[in-house]
Structure 1
Amino acid sequence: MTERHSDNPDILALLPRLADADAGVRRIALIALADLEEPDGLPWLTDAVLADPAEEVRAEAAQSLAELKSLEVGQLILPWATHADAFVRASALRALRELRLEEAAAPALLALRDPDAGVRREAVGILGWLKHVAALPDLARLAVEEPDTDVRRAAIGALGLARDASVLPGLISALADPAWQVREEAATTLGKVGQADAGLALVEALADDYWQVRLRAARALGRLRHGAALEPLAGLLGHAIANLRKEAALALGELGLAQALPALQVAQADADPEVRKAVRIALAQLQGLGR
């Protein structure tokens, strides 16, 4: 329990409700306390995160910490990032992420090796938001070695902060991850990184068992303008999932290759209006190339 003291009359007026036997009353009081955005109120919020017996009250306190936007409050939250309780550590890191404090990078780097997956996930979020390049080796390690699916996915997304080939091995490896959500994130991030050397791996991802992964791979290949993707992308114009057909059409337009015209012209008769619209956009991009 932290030392709690305040002369603020608004905080003092809330204290009886913060100690009420009814969890619902305590929860509403915490919302009111957070709305004050007073640093003096932070000890009551952090104590609620740690010690309140009701899960909904702890969750509300954690959310309230995340919504405090004062940099002064951020400085007060920093020490809680290394608290003994994992829930408190995760809540503090989540709050610091929203504030984008550069000082939060150091505890976030330490937290990448935290025994609690929730803490590691919040740490990755901070480093990604801060675009902390020094974290890239650790993020690449997590992309391959991390046992928790959500943390792996977050780490892969954070690797997008670099626009160079250094992150390619981890991202390409993640295209073979057992979890389709991680493969989807890897394809998305490869599109953002924009390295041509990822093209062949993304072409292979167009045959993934999950259409969501294929969709993100198609989008990435369009951004990369990877010519070897033309045939498999054209094949996706006949897929049962309309969203995937739409993305394949848009990617074919971005490739800028006249060889895509015949498949797109056939796709003008697609049953889905959104797919037809994507086909029209692609054909407009390719206009004149087949003449």
Structure 2
Amino acid sequence: MDIQNCSVAERLGSADAEVRRLAVIDLPYGDEDDIVPLLLPRLADPDASVRTEAVRALEGYEEPEVVSALAPMLLDADADVRAAAGAVLSELKESASAAPLLPFLQGHSSEVRMLALRAIRALRVPEAFAPAMEALKDGDAGVRREAVGVLGYLRMPEAIGALAEVAARDADADVRRIAIGAIGYSSEVSVLPALTRGLADTSWMVRDEAAQTLGKLRLGLAIPDLIRAMQDDYWQVRVKAARALGLLKAVAALPALIDSLTHTIGNVRKEAAIALGEIADPRAIPALEAALGDADPDVRKLSRLALTAITLAQK
């Protein structure tokens, strides 16, 4: 076969796997009526590299026949093909595309269930709720992480209790962190114990997520715990705690925030200044005036803004 004089379609039928692979890559992205019929047969190509490129080339096509053909590629014998299928399926945008993925949420290997859960997450289909809830008890932490993600996207009140339990007790720190973020869609006070427990977690990243979520939820009952978090060994946690205390306008946090204006880490000083401006208590004025001489120009700027906010609040 004279490759240079062959059409892409002819090259796709070559006996040489490398010729077929390059032909798949050369296919332009275009009308599915023209491109998809050429790509779908290559999903069954005997060569894994050709199948991988065919999967990748189908990204962006959400026609039912395409999604139905891609979903079984999660079971391919080749790891690269499975990874490519998972990546392409995770880019789906239409909820109608979820149906072919549902059978892969249960009864398969941990890897397949992880990929299927990740792909279905952003589609927000109620049918994924029950499999995701079941997956919270899976022995594989990766599966549990993806299940938490699905439930976080679904935002169903029925999942709050289970997510709070995972946030508080899962053996994997990353699962706990993601679960804490996931319960951020609930304003129920019932999530408070899980979040305050998160502030004392052994993982600083979990503590960081807990402080951020508490600020987002404006849970005033957590103010004492957030004040304690201002003494965390990790400055990243102190930053999120200061931000939360500012959002909560926590007057009780004034001493901790004023003390943080002299912290060695500039980001902590900045957040402390912002929080003091939000609280707008005149007792912070001397410390903020002193911070006008800070070596960091952002700290000086934010301290000026905080002083202005206090002045305006007094009028």
TM-score normalised per structure 1:
0.90
The answer on whether the counterparts of 2:277 and 2:309 sit within 8 Å (CA) in structure 1 is yes
Counterpart-to-counterpart distance in 2, 1:57 and 1:172: 42
Structure 1 position 29, deviation (Å): 1.3
2:140 maps to 116
1:181 maps to 205
2:231 maps to 207
Counterpart-to-counterpart distance in 1, 2:271 and 2:248: 14
2:175 maps to 151
1:48 aligns with 2:98: no
Counterpart-to-counterpart distance in 2, 1:207 and 1:59: 42
Counterpart-to-counterpart distance in 2, 1:9 and 1:47: 23
1:236 aligns with 2:260: yes
Out of 46, 55, 59, which is 1:30 matched to? Answer: 55
The amino acid of 1:29's aligned partner reads A
Out of 273, 276, 280, which is 1:249 matched to? Answer: 273
Structure 1 position 290, deviation (Å): 7.1
TM-score normalised per structure 2:
0.84
Counterpart-to-counterpart distance in 1, 2:199 and 2:61: 46
The answer on whether the counterparts of 2:247 and 2:275 sit within 8 Å (CA) in structure 1 is yes
The amino acid of 2:283's aligned partner reads Q
Q: Which protein has greater RCO, CA pairs closer than 8 Å, 6+ apart? A: 1
Q: What do the CA deviations read for 1:106-159 (whole angstroms, capped 9, x no partner)? A: 221111112221111111112112211111111111112101111100111111
1:72 maps to 96
The answer on whether the counterparts of 1:34 and 1:41 sit within 8 Å (CA) in structure 2 is no
Counterpart-to-counterpart distance in 2, 1:269 and 1:130: 48
The CA RMSD measured in Å over matched residues stands at: 2.0
The amino acid of 1:125's aligned partner reads G
Counterpart-to-counterpart distance in 2, 1:91 and 1:271: 48
Counterpart-to-counterpart distance in 2, 1:146 and 1:184: 17
Counterpart-to-counterpart distance in 1, 2:249 and 2:266: 22
2:161 maps to 137
The answer on whether the counterparts of 1:261 and 1:290 sit within 8 Å (CA) in structure 2 is no
Identity, % of aligned positions: 49
SS of aligned partner of 1:109: helix
1:98 aligns with 2:122: yes
Counterpart-to-counterpart distance in 1, 2:295 and 2:50: 54
1:287 aligns with 2:290: no
Out of 87, 90, 97, which is 2:111 matched to? Answer: 87
Kindly tell me the number of residue pairs found equivalent between the two proteins: 283
Structure 1 position 70, deviation (Å): 2.6
Gaps of 5+ in 1: 1-7
The amino acid of 1:45's aligned partner reads L
The amino acid of 2:288's aligned partner reads L
1:13 aligns with 2:20: no
Structure 1 position 9, deviation (Å): 6.7
Counterpart-to-counterpart distance in 2, 1:59 and 1:164: 38
The answer on whether the counterparts of 1:156 and 1:186 sit within 8 Å (CA) in structure 2 is yes
Range that drifts further, 29-38 or 218-227? 29-38
1:5 maps to none
C-alpha change, 1:256 and 1:183, in structure 2 (3 Å) is same
